[in-house]
Structure 1
Amino acid sequence: MPTTSHTTSTSRVPLSADQGYVAPIDTSRPTKKRICGISSGVFILLCLLAFFIAILVVVAGVFGSMLAKQSAEILDLKSTSPTKTSDADANGSSTATAAAATTTWVTVTDWDFIGCYEDGDERVFSGNISVIQNQTNKLCALACDGFDYFGTQYGDQCYCSKTPPKTAAPAWNCDMHCAGAPNSEICGGYYFLSAWKKKSS
Structure 2
Amino acid sequence: MVYYGVSLNAGALAGDIFLNNIYAGMLEIASYVVCVCTMDFIGRRLLLTITLTGAGVALLISTIVNAFADGDESLITMGVVFAFIGRSLVSGSYAIIYNFTGELFPTVIRSNAIGFGAMCARIGSVLSPFIIGLQDYVSWLPNTIFGAVAVIGGLLSLTFRDTTGKPMMETIEEAELFHSGKDLSRRVAILNFIRQYY
> Taking structure 1 as the reference length, what is the TM-score of the superposition?
0.22
For CA contacts below 8 A with separation 6 or more, give which structure has more relative contact order: 2
Q: Please identify which structure carries the higher strand content.
A: 1
Q: Please identify which structure carries the higher helix content.
A: 2
Find the structure with the greater CA-based Rg.
1
